[in-house]
Amino acid sequence: MTATSTTVTRVWPRRLLTLLYWFLAVEFVIGAVTKYWPGPTFFGPAYSVKFADWGYPPYARFAVGAIELICAILLVLPDRRYKFLGASTLVLVLTGAVTTHIVNHDPIYESVSAPIHLMIMAIIALATWPAHWLDLFRSHAAFTARRSYR
C-alpha cells in the first residue's frame, strides 16, 4: 500500500465528520433563526406562542436561540475543545427540550427531533471529551506543547 492510498483512506472519515458538524450547525442556526422569527414558522406557530403554551415566558426563546447559535458556531470551529463545549451545552438545552415535550404531551411529530439531536450531541460530547478538564482553558499552543511531552 502506498503512502497516498493510506492518506486518502484517512482523509475521507475526517471529511465526512466535518460535513456532519456543518450539517448539524446549519440545523441549529435554522432553529435559532426561527426562535427570533416574530411570526409563524415552517415548524408551526411562532415560538413566542409555543414557549407560552409550554409554560415559559415568551422572551425565553431569545436565550435559547442565542445559545443554539453560539453552539452551532462552536461545532464548526476546528479545535476539539470548542466542539466539546458546543455539544455539551446543547446536551443541556436539548435535555430541557425533551423534558418539555414529555411534560406537555406534545405529538410525536413535534417531539422526535429533540431526542435524536440529544443523542447525537451526547455522542459528539463524549467523542471530543478532553483528557483533563483544565485542557478546556489552556491556549492551543500550551495544549499542543503539553501533549508533545507525553
The predicted-structure confidence for 44-58, as pLDDT tens digits, reads as follows 889 999 999 999 999
Listing DSSP states for 64-96 in one string gives HHHHHHHHHHHHHSSSHHHHHHHHHHHHHHHHH
142 pLDDT above the threshold of 90: no
pTM of the full structure: 0.81
pLDDT confidence of residue 42: 83
C-alpha 67/C-alpha 72 separation (Å) is: 8
| Cβ atoms 125, 88 nearer than 8 A | yes
pLDDT confidence of residue 137: 67
Which residues have a Cβ under 8 Å from the Cβ of 86 and sit 6 or more positions away? 70, 71, 72, 73, 74, 75
Q: What are phi and psi of 54, to 5 degrees?
A: -80, -10
**Percent with pLDDT over 90 in the chain:** 61
